[in-house]
Structure 1
Protein backbone atom coordinates (compact mmCIF):
# COMPACT_ATOMS: atom_id res chain seq x y z
CA UNK A 1 0.00 0.00 0.00
CA UNK A 2 1.78 3.13 -1.22
CA UNK A 3 2.12 6.30 0.83
CA UNK A 4 0.42 8.25 -1.95
CA UNK A 5 -2.61 5.96 -1.90
CA UNK A 6 -2.75 5.95 1.88
CA UNK A 7 -2.32 9.71 2.29
CA UNK A 8 -4.84 11.48 4.51
CA UNK A 9 -7.78 12.97 2.61
CA UNK A 10 -10.75 14.99 3.85
CA UNK A 11 -13.68 12.67 4.49
CA UNK A 12 -15.76 13.87 1.53
CA UNK A 13 -12.82 13.47 -0.86
CA UNK A 14 -12.05 10.00 0.46
CA UNK A 15 -15.68 8.99 0.03
CA UNK A 16 -15.63 10.29 -3.54
CA UNK A 17 -12.44 8.35 -4.25
CA UNK A 18 -13.95 5.17 -2.83
CA UNK A 19 -17.13 5.54 -4.88
CA UNK A 20 -15.14 6.12 -8.09
CA UNK A 21 -13.11 3.02 -7.29
CA UNK A 22 -16.26 1.01 -6.53
CA UNK A 23 -17.75 2.03 -9.89
CA UNK A 24 -14.59 0.85 -11.67
CA UNK A 25 -14.80 -2.50 -9.90
CA UNK A 26 -18.44 -2.95 -10.98
CA UNK A 27 -17.64 -1.94 -14.56
CA UNK A 28 -14.62 -4.21 -14.85
CA UNK A 29 -15.48 -7.15 -12.58
CA UNK A 30 -19.24 -7.03 -11.97
CA UNK A 31 -21.28 -6.40 -8.83
CA UNK A 32 -20.42 -9.77 -7.28
CA UNK A 33 -16.79 -8.66 -7.00
CA UNK A 34 -17.66 -5.49 -5.09
CA UNK A 35 -17.03 -6.07 -1.40
CA UNK A 36 -15.63 -3.73 1.22
CA UNK A 37 -12.45 -5.81 1.34
CA UNK A 38 -12.02 -5.61 -2.46
CA UNK A 39 -12.77 -1.89 -2.42
CA UNK A 40 -10.12 -1.25 0.23
CA UNK A 41 -7.53 -3.26 -1.73
CA UNK A 42 -8.29 -1.51 -5.02
CA UNK A 43 -8.38 1.97 -3.46
CA UNK A 44 -5.16 1.38 -1.53
CA UNK A 45 -6.65 2.03 1.91
CA UNK A 46 -7.10 -0.04 5.03
CA UNK A 47 -10.28 -2.09 5.37
CA UNK A 48 -11.50 -0.09 8.43
CA UNK A 49 -11.58 3.05 6.26
CA UNK A 50 -13.96 1.36 3.81
CA UNK A 51 -16.13 0.15 6.69
CA UNK A 52 -16.11 3.60 8.27
CA UNK A 53 -17.66 5.12 5.14
CA UNK A 54 -20.21 2.42 4.21
CA UNK A 55 -20.60 0.00 7.17
CA UNK A 56 -21.88 -2.89 5.03
CA UNK A 57 -21.74 -4.12 1.45
CA UNK A 58 -25.40 -3.15 1.04
CA UNK A 59 -24.55 0.33 2.31
CA UNK A 60 -21.77 0.58 -0.27
CA UNK A 61 -24.03 -0.57 -3.10
CA UNK A 62 -26.74 1.93 -2.14
CA UNK A 63 -24.23 4.78 -1.88
CA UNK A 64 -22.91 3.91 -5.33
CA UNK A 65 -26.42 3.69 -6.76
CA UNK A 66 -27.22 7.10 -5.26
CA UNK A 67 -24.05 8.60 -6.77
CA UNK A 68 -24.97 7.33 -10.24
CA UNK A 69 -28.53 8.57 -9.79
CA UNK A 70 -27.37 12.05 -8.74
CA UNK A 71 -25.31 12.35 -11.92
CA UNK A 72 -28.34 11.19 -13.88
CA UNK A 73 -30.55 13.91 -12.40
CA UNK A 74 -27.93 16.60 -13.01
CA UNK A 75 -27.76 15.61 -16.68
CA UNK A 76 -31.54 15.82 -17.01
CA UNK A 77 -31.83 19.21 -15.31
CA UNK A 78 -29.06 20.72 -17.42
CA UNK A 79 -30.68 19.45 -20.61
CA UNK A 80 -34.15 20.72 -19.68
CA UNK A 81 -32.80 24.15 -18.71
CA UNK A 82 -31.57 24.60 -22.28
CA UNK A 83 -34.66 23.23 -24.05
CA UNK A 84 -37.20 25.44 -25.87
CA UNK A 85 -40.31 26.11 -23.81
CA UNK A 86 -42.65 23.77 -25.67
CA UNK A 87 -44.08 20.48 -24.42
CA UNK A 88 -42.86 18.56 -27.48
CA UNK A 89 -39.29 19.83 -27.05
CA UNK A 90 -39.20 19.35 -23.29
CA UNK A 91 -40.64 15.83 -23.58
CA UNK A 92 -37.98 14.82 -26.08
CA UNK A 93 -35.14 16.44 -24.14
CA UNK A 94 -36.24 14.82 -20.88
CA UNK A 95 -36.53 11.43 -22.58
CA UNK A 96 -33.17 11.74 -24.31
CA UNK A 97 -31.39 12.88 -21.14
CA UNK A 98 -33.00 10.04 -19.18
CA UNK A 99 -32.04 7.29 -21.63
CA UNK A 100 -28.59 8.61 -22.53
CA UNK A 101 -27.55 8.84 -18.89
CA UNK A 102 -28.99 5.46 -17.91
CA UNK A 103 -26.13 3.42 -16.53
CA UNK A 104 -26.16 -0.38 -16.93
CA UNK A 105 -24.23 -0.57 -13.67
CA UNK A 106 -27.18 1.04 -11.84
CA UNK A 107 -29.46 -1.78 -13.03
CA UNK A 108 -26.87 -4.35 -11.97
CA UNK A 109 -26.55 -2.76 -8.54
CA UNK A 110 -30.34 -2.65 -8.10
CA UNK A 111 -30.52 -6.34 -9.09
CA UNK A 112 -27.81 -7.20 -6.55
CA UNK A 113 -29.91 -5.60 -3.82
CA UNK A 114 -33.23 -7.23 -4.74
CA UNK A 115 -35.01 -8.47 -1.64
CA UNK A 116 -33.03 -6.25 0.71
CA UNK A 117 -35.58 -4.41 2.85
CA UNK A 118 -33.39 -1.35 3.19
CA UNK A 119 -32.92 -1.19 -0.58
CA UNK A 120 -36.66 -1.47 -1.16
CA UNK A 121 -37.22 1.62 0.96
CA UNK A 122 -34.26 3.35 -0.68
CA UNK A 123 -35.60 2.64 -4.17
CA UNK A 124 -39.02 3.96 -3.20
CA UNK A 125 -37.42 7.20 -2.04
CA UNK A 126 -35.59 7.51 -5.37
CA UNK A 127 -38.80 6.80 -7.27
CA UNK A 128 -40.65 9.46 -5.27
CA UNK A 129 -37.86 11.95 -6.01
CA UNK A 130 -38.19 11.28 -9.73
CA UNK A 131 -41.94 11.77 -9.55
CA UNK A 132 -41.44 15.12 -7.81
CA UNK A 133 -38.76 16.14 -10.32
CA UNK A 134 -41.00 15.18 -13.23
CA UNK A 135 -43.94 17.07 -11.76
CA UNK A 136 -41.81 20.20 -11.40
CA UNK A 137 -40.48 19.96 -14.96
CA UNK A 138 -43.85 19.23 -16.59
CA UNK A 139 -46.09 21.50 -14.48
CA UNK A 140 -45.84 24.45 -16.92
CA UNK A 141 -47.26 22.24 -19.69
CA UNK A 142 -50.04 20.51 -17.75
CA UNK A 143 -53.42 22.03 -16.97
CA UNK A 144 -53.89 19.72 -13.99
CA UNK A 145 -54.25 19.88 -10.25
CA UNK A 146 -51.14 19.05 -8.24
CA UNK A 147 -52.63 15.71 -7.19
CA UNK A 148 -53.58 14.75 -10.73
CA UNK A 149 -50.19 15.75 -12.13
CA UNK A 150 -48.50 13.74 -9.40
CA UNK A 151 -50.44 10.61 -10.35
CA UNK A 152 -49.74 11.12 -14.05
CA UNK A 153 -46.02 11.42 -13.25
CA UNK A 154 -46.12 8.24 -11.16
CA UNK A 155 -47.26 6.47 -14.34
CA UNK A 156 -44.68 8.21 -16.53
CA UNK A 157 -41.76 7.44 -14.20
CA UNK A 158 -42.86 3.82 -13.98
CA UNK A 159 -43.00 3.69 -17.78
CA UNK A 160 -39.55 5.30 -18.04
CA UNK A 161 -38.08 2.63 -15.76
CA UNK A 162 -39.69 -0.18 -17.76
CA UNK A 163 -38.63 1.24 -21.12
CA UNK A 164 -35.05 1.82 -19.96
CA UNK A 165 -34.99 -1.77 -18.73
CA UNK A 166 -35.93 -2.98 -22.22
CA UNK A 167 -33.14 -0.81 -23.63
CA UNK A 168 -30.54 -2.09 -21.16
CA UNK A 169 -31.46 -5.70 -22.02
CA UNK A 170 -30.95 -4.92 -25.72
CA UNK A 171 -34.57 -5.50 -26.72
CA UNK A 172 -35.00 -2.01 -28.14
CA UNK A 173 -32.60 0.65 -29.37
CA UNK A 174 -31.83 3.84 -27.48
CA UNK A 175 -33.56 5.85 -30.24
CA UNK A 176 -36.74 3.79 -29.85
CA UNK A 177 -36.64 4.16 -26.08
CA UNK A 178 -36.31 7.94 -26.34
CA UNK A 179 -39.06 8.28 -28.94
CA UNK A 180 -41.42 6.02 -27.00
CA UNK A 181 -41.02 7.85 -23.70
CA UNK A 182 -41.32 11.27 -25.36
CA UNK A 183 -44.51 10.15 -27.09
CA UNK A 184 -45.97 8.91 -23.80
CA UNK A 185 -45.22 12.22 -22.09
CA UNK A 186 -46.76 14.28 -24.89
CA UNK A 187 -49.86 12.11 -25.30
CA UNK A 188 -50.45 11.81 -21.55
CA UNK A 189 -50.32 15.56 -20.93
CA UNK A 190 -52.12 16.50 -24.14
CA UNK A 191 -54.97 14.08 -23.36
CA UNK A 192 -55.27 15.25 -19.76
CA UNK A 193 -55.25 18.89 -20.89
CA UNK A 194 -58.03 18.14 -23.42
CA UNK A 195 -60.05 16.42 -20.71
CA UNK A 196 -59.62 19.42 -18.44
CA UNK A 197 -60.72 21.83 -21.18
CA UNK A 198 -63.76 19.62 -21.94
CA UNK A 199 -64.67 19.54 -18.26
CA UNK A 200 -64.40 23.32 -17.98
CA UNK A 201 -66.50 23.76 -21.11
CA UNK A 202 -69.20 21.41 -19.81
CA UNK A 203 -69.36 23.21 -16.49
CA UNK A 204 -69.58 26.54 -18.28
CA UNK A 205 -72.45 25.37 -20.49
CA UNK A 206 -74.36 24.04 -17.49
CA UNK A 207 -74.00 27.28 -15.59
CA UNK A 208 -74.85 29.64 -18.47
CA UNK A 209 -78.70 29.21 -18.30
CA UNK A 210 -78.59 30.14 -14.64
CA UNK A 211 -76.56 33.22 -15.47
CA UNK A 212 -79.17 34.29 -18.03
CA UNK A 213 -81.97 33.93 -15.51
Structure 2
Protein backbone atom coordinates (compact mmCIF):
# COMPACT_ATOMS: atom_id res chain seq x y z
CA UNK A 1 0.00 0.00 0.00
CA UNK A 2 1.54 3.29 -1.10
CA UNK A 3 1.51 6.25 1.28
CA UNK A 4 -1.01 9.03 0.83
CA UNK A 5 1.58 11.63 -0.29
CA UNK A 6 2.44 11.13 -3.93
CA UNK A 7 3.69 13.54 -6.53
CA UNK A 8 2.45 13.83 -10.08
CA UNK A 9 4.50 11.48 -12.22
CA UNK A 10 7.71 12.97 -13.61
CA UNK A 11 6.89 16.56 -12.76
CA UNK A 12 9.98 18.79 -12.97
CA UNK A 13 10.70 20.47 -9.64
CA UNK A 14 13.51 22.64 -8.38
CA UNK A 15 16.11 20.77 -6.31
CA UNK A 16 14.69 22.29 -3.09
CA UNK A 17 11.10 21.44 -4.02
CA UNK A 18 12.12 17.90 -5.01
CA UNK A 19 13.97 17.48 -1.70
CA UNK A 20 10.87 18.59 0.22
CA UNK A 21 8.66 16.30 -1.84
CA UNK A 22 10.93 13.31 -1.18
CA UNK A 23 10.97 14.05 2.56
CA UNK A 24 7.17 14.32 2.59
CA UNK A 25 6.94 10.97 0.80
CA UNK A 26 9.44 9.42 3.23
CA UNK A 27 7.43 10.66 6.24
CA UNK A 28 4.26 9.28 4.64
CA UNK A 29 5.90 5.87 4.14
CA UNK A 30 7.05 5.75 7.76
CA UNK A 31 3.58 6.85 8.90
CA UNK A 32 1.73 4.24 6.85
CA UNK A 33 4.14 1.29 6.77
CA UNK A 34 6.85 1.91 9.38
CA UNK A 35 10.57 2.49 9.09
CA UNK A 36 11.24 -1.04 7.85
CA UNK A 37 9.44 -0.13 4.61
CA UNK A 38 11.56 2.99 4.13
CA UNK A 39 13.98 2.33 1.30
CA UNK A 40 15.29 4.77 -1.26
CA UNK A 41 13.79 2.65 -4.03
CA UNK A 42 10.37 2.74 -2.43
CA UNK A 43 10.62 6.50 -1.90
CA UNK A 44 11.43 6.85 -5.61
CA UNK A 45 8.50 4.65 -6.62
CA UNK A 46 6.05 6.53 -4.42
CA UNK A 47 7.37 9.92 -5.53
CA UNK A 48 7.21 9.03 -9.21
CA UNK A 49 10.93 9.57 -9.82
CA UNK A 50 13.86 7.36 -10.69
CA UNK A 51 16.06 5.84 -8.00
CA UNK A 52 19.10 7.98 -8.92
CA UNK A 53 17.09 11.11 -8.06
CA UNK A 54 16.53 9.87 -4.51
CA UNK A 55 20.12 8.64 -4.17
CA UNK A 56 21.32 12.07 -5.31
CA UNK A 57 19.41 13.71 -2.44
CA UNK A 58 20.21 11.29 0.40
CA UNK A 59 22.98 8.95 -0.69
CA UNK A 60 21.82 6.06 1.49
CA UNK A 61 18.92 4.99 3.66
CA UNK A 62 21.07 6.01 6.61
CA UNK A 63 21.40 9.47 5.09
CA UNK A 64 17.63 9.72 4.65
CA UNK A 65 16.95 8.65 8.24
CA UNK A 66 19.49 11.20 9.42
CA UNK A 67 17.75 13.97 7.48
CA UNK A 68 14.36 12.96 8.87
CA UNK A 69 15.65 13.02 12.44
CA UNK A 70 17.42 16.32 11.78
CA UNK A 71 14.16 17.81 10.54
CA UNK A 72 12.40 16.71 13.73
CA UNK A 73 15.25 18.04 15.86
CA UNK A 74 15.27 21.42 14.10
CA UNK A 75 11.52 21.79 14.63
CA UNK A 76 11.92 20.95 18.31
CA UNK A 77 14.71 23.50 18.79
CA UNK A 78 12.82 26.23 16.96
CA UNK A 79 9.69 25.65 19.02
CA UNK A 80 11.61 25.61 22.28
CA UNK A 81 13.67 28.70 21.42
CA UNK A 82 10.54 30.69 20.62
CA UNK A 83 8.71 29.50 23.74
CA UNK A 84 11.71 30.26 25.98
CA UNK A 85 11.90 33.80 24.57
CA UNK A 86 8.31 34.49 25.51
CA UNK A 87 7.98 32.48 28.73
CA UNK A 88 8.20 33.61 32.30
CA UNK A 89 11.58 33.56 33.95
CA UNK A 90 11.01 30.97 36.66
CA UNK A 91 11.79 27.27 37.07
CA UNK A 92 8.15 26.17 36.61
CA UNK A 93 7.79 28.32 33.48
CA UNK A 94 10.99 27.01 31.89
CA UNK A 95 10.15 23.41 32.85
CA UNK A 96 6.73 23.80 31.26
CA UNK A 97 8.26 25.19 28.04
CA UNK A 98 10.68 22.28 27.72
CA UNK A 99 7.95 19.72 28.44
CA UNK A 100 5.47 21.30 26.04
CA UNK A 101 8.03 21.72 23.26
CA UNK A 102 9.06 18.09 23.50
CA UNK A 103 5.56 16.64 23.62
CA UNK A 104 4.13 18.97 20.96
CA UNK A 105 6.93 18.22 18.54
CA UNK A 106 6.56 14.46 18.94
CA UNK A 107 2.79 14.73 18.60
CA UNK A 108 3.09 16.84 15.46
CA UNK A 109 5.50 14.40 13.87
CA UNK A 110 3.07 11.65 14.81
CA UNK A 111 3.47 7.98 15.45
CA UNK A 112 6.35 7.79 12.98
CA UNK A 113 8.85 9.56 15.25
CA UNK A 114 9.44 6.63 17.61
CA UNK A 115 10.18 4.42 14.60
CA UNK A 116 12.67 6.89 13.17
CA UNK A 117 14.29 7.29 16.58
CA UNK A 118 14.56 3.51 17.01
CA UNK A 119 16.02 3.12 13.51
CA UNK A 120 18.76 5.59 14.42
CA UNK A 121 20.02 3.17 17.06
CA UNK A 122 20.36 0.52 14.36
CA UNK A 123 23.75 1.63 13.09
CA UNK A 124 26.79 3.25 14.68
CA UNK A 125 26.64 6.16 12.22
CA UNK A 126 22.99 6.92 12.98
CA UNK A 127 23.43 6.38 16.70
CA UNK A 128 26.27 8.92 16.69
CA UNK A 129 24.05 11.37 14.80
CA UNK A 130 21.23 10.92 17.32
CA UNK A 131 23.64 11.45 20.23
CA UNK A 132 24.94 14.63 18.60
CA UNK A 133 21.40 16.02 18.30
CA UNK A 134 20.58 14.93 21.85
CA UNK A 135 23.72 16.61 23.20
CA UNK A 136 22.69 19.92 21.62
CA UNK A 137 19.18 19.61 23.04
CA UNK A 138 20.49 18.71 26.51
CA UNK A 139 22.92 21.63 26.47
CA UNK A 140 20.07 23.99 25.61
CA UNK A 141 17.89 22.59 28.39
CA UNK A 142 20.75 22.72 30.87
CA UNK A 143 21.47 26.35 30.04
CA UNK A 144 17.80 27.26 30.46
CA UNK A 145 17.38 25.38 33.75
CA UNK A 146 20.70 25.91 35.52
CA UNK A 147 19.95 29.46 36.76
CA UNK A 148 17.05 28.02 38.78
CA UNK A 149 18.65 24.75 39.94
CA UNK A 150 19.80 24.20 43.50
CA UNK A 151 22.94 22.39 42.34
CA UNK A 152 24.84 21.91 39.07
CA UNK A 153 22.82 19.91 36.54
CA UNK A 154 25.17 17.18 35.40
CA UNK A 155 24.93 14.75 32.49
CA UNK A 156 23.09 12.08 34.53
CA UNK A 157 20.37 14.54 35.56
CA UNK A 158 19.93 15.78 32.01
CA UNK A 159 19.82 12.23 30.64
CA UNK A 160 17.15 11.35 33.21
CA UNK A 161 15.09 14.29 31.98
CA UNK A 162 15.54 13.26 28.34
CA UNK A 163 14.68 9.63 29.07
CA UNK A 164 11.44 10.65 30.71
CA UNK A 165 10.61 13.12 27.93
CA UNK A 166 11.18 10.57 25.20
CA UNK A 167 9.37 7.70 26.90
CA UNK A 168 6.20 9.55 27.84
CA UNK A 169 6.06 11.57 24.60
CA UNK A 170 6.33 8.42 22.52
CA UNK A 171 3.64 6.81 24.68
CA UNK A 172 1.41 9.82 23.99
CA UNK A 173 2.11 9.53 20.25
CA UNK A 174 1.09 5.86 20.43
CA UNK A 175 -2.17 6.81 22.15
CA UNK A 176 -1.25 5.07 25.42
CA UNK A 177 -1.52 8.26 27.48
CA UNK A 178 -2.87 11.75 26.96
CA UNK A 179 -0.43 14.39 25.68
CA UNK A 180 -1.31 16.66 28.61
CA UNK A 181 -0.38 13.87 31.03
CA UNK A 182 2.93 13.36 29.23
CA UNK A 183 3.66 17.08 29.43
CA UNK A 184 2.84 17.18 33.15
CA UNK A 185 5.06 14.17 33.88
CA UNK A 186 8.01 15.71 32.04
CA UNK A 187 7.51 19.02 33.83
CA UNK A 188 7.34 17.26 37.21
CA UNK A 189 10.52 15.33 36.43
CA UNK A 190 12.35 18.52 35.47
CA UNK A 191 11.19 20.27 38.65
CA UNK A 192 12.30 17.36 40.86
CA UNK A 193 15.70 17.23 39.20
CA UNK A 194 16.29 20.98 39.38
CA UNK A 195 15.12 21.29 43.01
CA UNK A 196 17.31 18.50 44.37
CA UNK A 197 19.80 19.65 47.00
TM range (shorter): 0.7 to 0.9
Taking only aligned residues, the RMSD between alpha carbons, in angstroms, comes to 2.2
> CA deviation digits over 1:18-71, x for unaligned, max 9?
212211222233323322112122323221111112122222122112212211
Q: Does 1:56 align with 2:52?
A: no
Unaligned runs of 5+ in 2: 1-7
Structure 1 residue 135: Cα displacement: 1.1
Superposition map of 1:40-189 within 5 A: 40-102=44-106, 103=109, 104-145=111-152, 148-189=153-194
Are 2:7 and 1:6 equivalent residues in the alignment?
no
The change in CA–CA distance for 1:2 and 1:177 in structure 2 (over 3 A counts) is closer
Is contact 1:135-1:150 (8 Å) kept?
no
User: For the pair shown, which has the larger CA radius of gyration, 1 or 2?
Assistant: 1
Q: What is the number of residues matched between the two proteins? A: 187
Report Cα offsets for 1:100-145 as digits up to 9, x if no partner: 2113211112233443222221222122122111112213322544
The Cα shift of 1:76 comes to: 1.9
Higher helix share: 1
Aligned residue number for residue 207 of structure 1: none
Q: TM-score, normalised by structure 2?
A: 0.82
Q: For the Cα contact (< 8 Å) 2:72–2:105, is it kept in 1?
A: no
